[in-house]
Amino acid sequence: MIKKKDYIIIFIIGLIIICGFIFNYFFFYQTGAYVQIKISGKVYQTVPLNLDQTINIENKNTLVIKNNEAYIIDSTCPDKLCQKQGKISKNAQQIICLPNQVTIGIIANKNNDIDASTY
């Protein structure tokens, strides 16, 4: 039988979990600086996210970068799932087009250097 104290404990644990997600989102989920385009796993192009432009990716996909967001507006793949994935702007977000083997990701720095290392 669940007592009143059990409900209070469940509520507190749930509140801690929700606060953890909120803290993680606002403090660690930063806006990226570059859009990296890969074809078949190899880097095709890396461009700044703050420069508005339209990029034709080997006549397979059309990528739009506008207002610090990147999204696909046209694709030759049959299901068009890459277009439906929406806009990305945060670090580590990706748009993936499997039929065309195109991956578009947001990265924090252009060289993808290691920020820090520990022993």
Indicate if 90 and 38 belong to the same structural domain: yes
Taking 80 as the threshold, does the pLDDT of residue 73 lie above it? yes
Indicate if 84 and 46 belong to the same structural domain: yes
Going by C-alpha positions, the residue among 42, 93, 99 that lies closest to residue 71 is 93
How far apart CA 34 and CA 46 sit, in angstroms, is 7
Please enumerate in sequence order all residues whose Cβ is within 8 A of that of 63, keeping only pairs 6 or more positions apart, or say none. Answer: 35, 37, 54, 55, 57, 70, 71, 72, 73, 104
pTM above 0.75, yes or no: no
User: Given this model, what pLDDT does residue 97 score?
Assistant: 96
Query: Would you say residue 63 lies in a domain?
Result: yes
Indicate if 2 and 49 belong to the same structural domain: no
Using CB atoms within 10 A of its CB, is residue 63 exposed (0-12), middle (13-18) or buried (19+)? Answer: buried
The percentage of residues in the chain with a pLDDT greater than 70, rounded to a whole number, is 87
List the structure tokens of 40.
């078949």
User: How many folded domains does the chain comprise?
Assistant: 2
